[in-house]
Amino acid sequence: MISTLQKTIRPMLAARGLHKSAVEVLKSLTPEDTVTASFGKFISELKPQHLSPVVLHRSKRMVLDSIGVGLIGSTTDVFELALQHCQHMYAPDDISSVYGRTGTRLSPTLAAFVNGVATHSMDFDDTWHPATHPSGAVLPAVLALSDMMPANRKPSGLDFLLAFNIGIEIQGRLMRFSNEAHNIPKRFHPPSVVGTMGSAAACARLLSLDPSQCSHALAIAASLAGAPMANAATQSKPLHIGNASRLGLEAALLASRGLEASPLVLDAVAGVAGFNAFYEDYVPQSLESPSDNGHMFLLEEQDMAFKRFPAHLGMHWVADAAASVHKLLVGVGPGKVSPDQVEDIMLRVPKSKYINRPFPESEHEARHSFQFNACSALLDGEVTVDSFTPAVMSRPDLFALLSRVRLEHPHDNPANFDCMYGEVQVTLVGGDILKGRCDTFYGHWRNPLTNESLRKKFRNNAEAVLPSEKVEMLIDVVEELDKFGDCRDLLSQLQ
């Protein structure tokens, strides 16, 4: 029986016109069994009832945090630059709104772009495990697309959340295809790899594309993915998220017009790289179609980290460790820490070149510097948004402390957000040694921000550009998003 099935499959596969190596991949599967097809099917067929209460709760927190971070991000130079670029290159369009700019609207993909840039502009957005910044790639695209849809056919709040969660889920699934993804990245900046795919998936869902079109959206997006790590810690980094959002939306729009791409983009075909071009090791797995029993979202098993200050996630460990040393110092002597007290500062941190910067010269570099964040927390007791402003960055006291820092990379401290720790050891003039250690900072998925802390962060961020009534309304709207008839209320509050 099986042998006759094989015999009929082979000419059928050949008749589908596939290249020889692709035929090899499909020999043991029917064409619909490919990993790529399973993803397309999942995106198209998932239903709102598959969203569990935990997933709804967690994803609403992500939506709130992402909006807040995007709003404060709209005050940055890089956002201004990106916005002016879009307005200069393209005429005003009255379709999709822009964070923090009442009355400014752009074409959907451009709005997704600038809002994505805003979201990542200060490195203040959420971080997941394996590492990426999932929401900034998805939310701006979903918002922009919702703005694009006709007034009488806007998605319901629940549809909106479903699309958003699909965008997150796809990213999580893709990262689990390789071991490389589990550690602090060295080659491609993860949001530029999986973020684009997540955005494409979310938008494909919102556009109600069929399974085949959803697959093609992913494949088209793959050709738009991938940016090198070297641009992290530069002013260009936020564009990785902006582009992920924009290009994923574009891929979905092109797929909706019938553009087709590789039907095996997620599968591993020897000699012809697809999505695996971005990874050294790659073992793809099909996504099961959701059954009546529901679907176990990765977000249910693995929560999100939210940042308390705008810097690379790794900084939060050393900041918390240094803050505890600050408390000890302040408790002992006068209420201020002075560099004259300090002889030596030793940081025990994971080895990672791009967050090891002894003397950062820009805010972008400072957000990616173990040394800077440790010293700031040592001096001030905490790191905040203001810690990265030019005046605060160039304090002589800070520089003096920075000159006294040494780094150690213990073998038991891997470059992995699930396992790492940060230790700060301060040797005082006089010989006393003060130590602080942080295994899990407050905000990490193991020690999540309370709803109260999350809202406080949101208020601080959103009030940079919106009046407090609107800020409170936004909190309520997001909280009730799955219960509202349509997402118009969310869209209107953002303008």
Partner 1 sequence: MLRKGITESFGAAIHALNTTQLTDGVITRSKRMMLDTLGVGLLGTRTAVFNKALKYSQMFTSEERSSVWGKADVALPPHYAAFVNGIAVHSMDFDDTWHPATHPSGAVLPALLALVETLPRPPSGLDLLLAFNVGIEVQGRLMRFSTEAYNIPERFHPPSVVGVMGSAAASAKLLGLSPAQCCHALAIAASSAGAPLANAATQTKPLHIGNAARTGLEAAQLALAGLEGNPAILDMHSGFGVYYKDYSPAAMADSASGGFRWILEDQDVAFKRIPAHLGMHWVVDAALAARVKLQNTDGPFDPSLIRSVTLRVPLSKYVNCPLPATEHQARHSFQFNACSALLDNKVTVDSFHHAQISRPALRELLSKVKVETPEENQPSFDKMYCEVEIETHQGQRHAARCDTFYGHWRKPLSQEDLVEKFSVNASSVLCTEGVGGVLYAIGDIERVRESSVLSSYLRMTNRAVLQHGETLSSHRI
> Is 223 a binder of partner 1 (CB under 8 A)?
yes
Residue from 37, 111, 131, 222 touching partner 1 (CB under 8 A): that is 222
> Is 53 a binder of partner 1 (CB under 8 A)?
no
Q: Compare residues 14 and 330 and give the one whose CB is closer to partner 1.
A: 14
> Is 236 a binder of partner 1 (CB under 8 A)?
yes
> Is 224 a binder of partner 1 (CB under 8 A)?
yes
Sites for partner 1 among residues 336-365 (CB under 8 A): 353-354
| Cβ-count burial 167-176 (b if 16+ within 10 Å, e if not) | bbbbbbbbbe
> Is 8 a binder of partner 1 (CB under 8 A)?
no
Give the count of alpha carbons within 13 A of 220, CB side only: 27
Gyration radius from the chain CA atoms: 24
> Is 103 a binder of partner 1 (CB under 8 A)?
no
Residue from 26, 239, 349, 420 touching partner 1 (CB under 8 A): that is 239
> Is 204 a binder of partner 1 (CB under 8 A)?
no
Residue from 6, 30, 49, 90 touching partner 1 (CB under 8 A): that is 90
Long-range residue pairs from 385-391, CB within 8 A, at least 24 positions apart, any chain: 385/72, 385/122, 385/124, 385/309, 385/310, 385/460, 387/309, 388/122, 388/310, 388/311, 388/363, 389/363, 390/363
Q: Kindly indicate which of the ranges 89-97, 124-132, 392-400, 406-414 contains the residues binding partner 1, using the contact rule CB under 8 A.
A: 89-97
Task: State in angstroms the smallest separation of the CB of 250 from partner 1.
Answer: 8
Q: Kindly indicate which of the ranges 96-104, 121-129, 137-145, 230-238 contains the residues binding partner 1, using the contact rule CB under 8 A.
A: 230-238
Q: Name the nearest CA neighbour of 46 among 213, 300, 303, 294.
A: 294
Task: State in angstroms the smallest separation of the CB of 367 from partner 1.
Answer: 15
Q: Compare residues 1 and 15 and give the one whose CB is closer to partner 1.
A: 15
> Is 30 a binder of partner 1 (CB under 8 A)?
no
Residue from 9, 101, 156, 226 touching partner 1 (CB under 8 A): that is 226
Q: How far, in Å, are 49, 174, 363 from residue 291 at the CA level? A: 11, 21, 48
Q: Kindly indicate which of the ranges 11-19, 176-184, 403-411, 483-491 contains the residues binding partner 1, using the contact rule CB under 8 A.
A: 11-19
Query: How far is it, in rounded angstroms, from Cα 96 to Cα 371?
Result: 40
> Is 431 a binder of partner 1 (CB under 8 A)?
no
> Is 46 a binder of partner 1 (CB under 8 A)?
no
Tokens representing 238 are 């936020």
Task: State in angstroms the smallest separation of the CB of 352 from partner 1.
Answer: 11
Q: Kindly indicate which of the ranges 159-167, 185-193, 292-300, 443-451 contains the residues binding partner 1, using the contact rule CB under 8 A.
A: 185-193
Task: State in angstroms the smallest separation of the CB of 329 from partner 1.
Answer: 37
Task: State in angstroms the smallest separation of the CB of 270 from partner 1.
Answer: 7
What is the per-residue binding string for partner 1 in 272-301, x denoting contact by CB under 8 A?
A: xxxxxxx-----------------------
Task: State in angstroms the smallest separation of the CB of 262 from partner 1.
Answer: 4
Q: How far, in Å, are 125, 189, 386, 457 from residue 467 at the CA level? A: 22, 35, 21, 15
The number of residues that bind partner 1 (CB under 8 A) is 69
> Is 153 a binder of partner 1 (CB under 8 A)?
no
> Is 464 a binder of partner 1 (CB under 8 A)?
no
> Is 150 a binder of partner 1 (CB under 8 A)?
no
> Is 416 a binder of partner 1 (CB under 8 A)?
no
Residue 407: partners with Cβ closer than 8 Å, 6 or more residues away: 346, 347, 349, 356, 370, 371
Name the site residues for partner 1 (rule: CB under 8 A): 14-21, 23, 78, 81-82, 84-85, 88-93, 107-108, 110, 186-189, 192, 219-220, 222-231, 234-236, 239-240, 243, 250, 253-254, 257-262, 264-265, 269-278, 353-354
